[in-house]
Amino acid sequence: MDLDLKKSTALEIAKAIQERKLSSPEVTRAYLDAAKADFEKAPGDTTKINAYASLGEEAAMAQAQAAQKRIDAGEAPSPLAGVPVALKDIICTTEGTTTASSKILTGFRAPYDAGVVDRMRAAGLVFLGKTNMDEFAMGSSTETSHLGITRNPWDTARVPGGSSGGSAAAVAAGLAPFALGSDTGGSIRQPCALTNLTGVKPTYGSVSRYGLMAYGSSLDQIGPMAKDAADAAALLAVISGKDERDSTSVMEKPFDFSDINMKEIKIGIPRNYFGMPGLADDVKACVLGAAETFRALGAKAIDIDLPLIDYAVPTYLIIACAEASSNLSRYDGVKYGYRSPDAADIHDVYYKTRSEGFGTEVKRRIILGSFVLSSGYFDAYYKKALQVRGLIRAAFDKALEGCDMILSPATPTVAFEIGGKIQDPIAMYLADIYTTSVNLTGLPGLAAPCGFGEGGLPVGMQLIGRAWEDGRLLSAVKAYQGATDFHKRWPA
């Protein structure tokens, strides 16, 4: 088989490995070489995608050889055995570093593997390295990384989205067949939408958070970022499942990825989502076009009410920042990574380490989170946000009584320019208008390609489903991708 790094899907690669047309070390080497060529470009080089935070060359080749041995012995551990994958720099592995792309975790080596890593090792997947991200997953553009910005392979003057922008850029640029991201308020879906990929924020509790550095614990989920729905499903099947080490892991039975009859599917279209002031015409047209395609496939597309969208971003920010302010208190210069070299006493260690180790956006969120949790403001902000969260969940549950899935834009615009929003946090936060409520509800949401807008840049739709129906969402997209070819286009 000819290995086209950009176009080959993970499942195609897996099949070629099983049929002995390619070997795992061969494939791994090819992706590592491509990733390395980009990684070694100078920081100022505007052709540098900067998808990776670190590469694990030696470990990857050893894993590939081990996987190949098992395959050659006729004991392929899973359908994805021998296929390489990239991991967001927030998912702990015992080899290499895991730094959340933050200065404060410079050089940090995790003492244990994340739950998803255990599962991927058992399945025989090979880890290429860690992908760049917004520091501690706080951002929508991968511009807050301590390791420099990541560029969008579709237009290197634009952002790849965030916070899992490195994972998205790696897959879109052919530097990994697929990748894992994490999604607290849209960090898988938004970068997938901006780089023409298919990605899932799974039902809360289906994928272990053990070994995922915590941002907003009640919102965080790890999920796949892939070239199509079939690849995303294959990877989600590997990483999902109960893990005793995560007390919020509650999955009872595996997802059902079997094909669905689109004639039995009712798709709800929240009209108000399409009347939002920030929604660009090109995005709106592509997503409404997707509704037509679903109709042509036999689905019913109906208008629905889905109130409270204006509250999604503020509610999300209050809750996410509150949780982050607590989660990030562990980075104190004593236990992990960076310690300020010129601290005089223990208080100075805390103060200077955190002042020097965290970037502006992270500090802003810690301050905001501490504020909404502080006595006197707790009732007005944090408690109120929890109440609104309950209302948002109820609104989604009610909407999903009348339909099987909800179709919306994933993002209000196509990829924006580097530097375009980073000075204006409110504008940046509003880019998450369509994704944040899904995390507040715990429901599954995915993003998938549905056309091209301004400047030929990709547009993504979002599909939101009932809890535990992640498989059905992906099957609907599989049907859609059988009838369209947007997902088969690659950046030049």
Q: How far apart are CA 237 and CA 296, in angstroms?
A: 29
The total of other beta-carbon atoms located within 10 Å of residue 280's CB is: 16
Verify whether residue 163 is a known catalytic residue.
Answer: yes
Q: Least distance from C-beta 423 to ligand GLN, angstroms? A: 15
Angle at 115 between CA 113 and CA 117, to 5 degrees: 60
Using the minimum distance from each CB to ligand GLN, give the nearer residue, 62 or 427.
Answer: 427
Q: Least distance from C-beta 133 to ligand GLN, angstroms? A: 8
Closest CA to 117 of 91, 141, 135: 91
Q: For the window 428-447, what string marks contact with ligand GLN as x by the rule CB under 6 A?
A: ----x---------------
Q: Least distance from C-beta 92 to ligand GLN, angstroms? A: 16
Residue from the set 143, 183, 246, 470 that interacts with ligand GLN by CB under 6 A: 183
Q: Least distance from C-beta 464 to ligand GLN, angstroms? A: 15
Residue from the set 215, 331, 358, 486 that interacts with ligand GLN by CB under 6 A: 215
Mark the segment that binds ligand GLN (CB under 6 A) among 97-105, 183-191, 370-378, 484-492.
183-191
Q: How far apart are CA 230 and CA 420, in angstroms?
A: 34
Verify whether residue 6 is a known catalytic residue.
Answer: no
186 binds ligand GLN (CB under 6 A): yes
- 408 neighbors 288 (Cβ within 8 angstroms): no
Q: How far apart are CA 377 and CA 381, in angstroms?
A: 6
Query: Looking at 8, 23, 78, 88, which residue is catalytic?
Result: 88
Closest CA to 372 of 431, 417, 314, 413: 314
Using the minimum distance from each CB to ligand GLN, give the nearer residue, 170 or 422.
Answer: 422
Binding residues for ligand GLN restricted to 137-176, rule: CB under 6 A:
137-140, 163
185 binds ligand GLN (CB under 6 A): yes
Q: Least distance from C-beta 440 to ligand GLN, angstroms? A: 12
Using the minimum distance from each CB to ligand GLN, give the nearer residue, 184 or 196.
Answer: 184
Using the minimum distance from each CB to ligand GLN, give the nearer residue, 186 or 458.
Answer: 186
Q: How far apart are CA 4 and CA 21, in angstroms?
A: 13
Q: Count the residues of the shown chain that bind ligand GLN, applying the rule CB under 6 A.
A: 13
Q: Least distance from C-beta 24 to ligand GLN, angstroms? A: 31
* DSSP H/E element including 201: strand 198-201
Burial of 364 (0-12, 13-18, 19+ CB in 10 A): middle
Closest CA to 331 of 208, 217, 185, 215: 215
- Which spans in 273-404 are helix H? 281-296, 309-327, 346-357, 360-373, 384-402
Binding site for ligand GLN (CB under 6 A): 137-140, 163, 183-187, 215, 320, 432
Question: What are the catalytic residues?
Answer: 88, 163, 187
